[in-house]
Amino acid sequence: MNKEKRKTFGVSEKLLSLICFLLIIMFWCVGSYGGMVKDIFLPSPSAVIEKIVSMARDGSLWANCWESTYRVLIGWIWSVIIALPMGMLMANSRKVSAFVQPIIEFARYLPVVALVPLTLLYLGIGESQKYTIIFLGTFFQLVLMVCDTVSGVDSNMINAARTLGASRMQVYREVIFPAALPGLMDDFRLTIGWAWTYLVVAEMVAADNGLGYMILRSQRYLATDTIFAGLILIGLIGLVTDWIFRILSRLVAPWQERLTDK
């Protein structure tokens, strides 16, 4: 009976999310079709949809989405590859933590936009400069998040493993990593979201494709419909990414999922 109640509640939660989207679209329609806001500030929903459809027809939609997704992924994956072991080391060694924590705390406050000139100077205008911007935007935050998540692993579990004869390496591999995995998946999900927010910064200079580039260029021509189309596409990709991560979390840590089910 209790379960039944939960279930209907779950449906109504989804309904509420939907209503929120519908409300926003409704205000948009009223504002635009009702002639309350000029087209140049707020393009009509039909104009934006037409734009997206025409972009899909000429293929630029897929090309731009793919280019941007690729840049975000490469930058973000590098940041995961380096942040994961570093965060784990920081969480388990005071010396490592003392060595790198201050510089990370320092770097994380630097605005990524301000680093663009340096990345151009060092790396030129190629793709690696774009990956680097995404990397810089996510890495310093991610290291601290990984460190925090790994520090949160129940020390009793680590003690139990050590008294069961696990070596330090075994403790990392067999206990700390699996125990932290659900939390790490959350960290990854959040940072890949941030990676998308740095996309426009990454495509600000010397890009000739990508959603961020598309939005920037449209500003020059006051093509508000294209700007809206770009924003909506980024948002949708974000929703899909989030959804993929939720499924992945369930796959890599099924024991955790069932825990919340109860």
Partner 1 sequence: MEQKLKLQVRHLNKIFEDTKGGEVVALRDVSLEVRESEFVMIVGPSGCGKTTLINVIGGLETASSGEVLLEGRPVEGPGADRGMVFQGYSLFPWLTVQKNVEFGLKMKKVSAAQRAKKAKEYIDLVGLTGFENALPRQLSGGMKQRVAIARTLANEPEVLLMDEPFGALDAQTRVVMQELLAKISRTTGTTILFITHDIDEAVLLGQRIYVMSRRPGTVREVVEVEIPGERDHNSLVLPEFLATKKRIMDMLWQESNDAAMDR
Residues that bind partner 1 (CB under 8 A): 154, 156-157, 159-167, 170, 174-175, 178-179, 181, 253, 255-256, 258-259, 262
Task: Identify whether the C-beta of residue 143 lies closer than 8 Å to the C-beta of residue 104.
Answer: yes
C-alpha torsion sign, points 171, 90, 132, 108: positive
Q: What is the closest distance, in whole angstroms, from the C-beta atom of residue 77 to partner 1 in the complex?
A: 25
Which stretches of the chain are DSSP H helices?
2-33, 45-58, 60-92, 94-107, 112-123, 127-151, 155-163, 168-170, 177-197, 199-202, 211-220, 224-252, 254-261
Q: What is the closest distance, in whole angstroms, from the C-beta atom of residue 2 to partner 1 in the complex?
A: 18
Q: How far apart are CA 215 and CA 223, in angstroms?
A: 9
C-alpha torsion sign, points 56, 60, 63, 69: negative
Q: How far apart are CA 183 and CA 85, in angstroms?
A: 15
Q: What is the closest distance, in whole angstroms, from the C-beta atom of residue 175 to partner 1 in the complex?
A: 7
Q: How far apart are CA 194 and CA 135, in angstroms?
A: 10
End-to-end alpha carbon distance in the chain: 14
Given the complex with partner 1, which of 94 and 220 has the nearer CB atom? Answer: 94
Q: What is the closest distance, in whole angstroms, from the C-beta atom of residue 248 to partner 1 in the complex?
A: 15
Given the complex with partner 1, which of 49 and 157 has the nearer CB atom? Answer: 157
DSSP state of 37: S
Given the complex with partner 1, which of 134 and 179 has the nearer CB atom? Answer: 179
Task: Identify whether the C-beta of residue 107 lies closer than 8 Å to the C-beta of residue 137.
Answer: no
Given the complex with partner 1, which of 166 and 190 has the nearer CB atom? Answer: 166
Q: What is the closest distance, in whole angstroms, from the C-beta atom of residue 88 to partner 1 in the complex?
A: 17
Given the complex with partner 1, which of 73 and 181 has the nearer CB atom? Answer: 181
Q: What is the closest distance, in whole angstroms, from the C-beta atom of residue 107 to partner 1 in the complex?
A: 31
Q: What angle, 0 to 180 degrees and rounded to 10, lies between the N-to-C axes of helices 2-33 and 45-58? A: 100
Given the complex with partner 1, which of 15 and 259 has the nearer CB atom? Answer: 259
Given the complex with partner 1, which of 75 and 182 has the nearer CB atom? Answer: 182
Q: What is the closest distance, in whole angstroms, from the C-beta atom of residue 72 to partner 1 in the complex?
A: 30
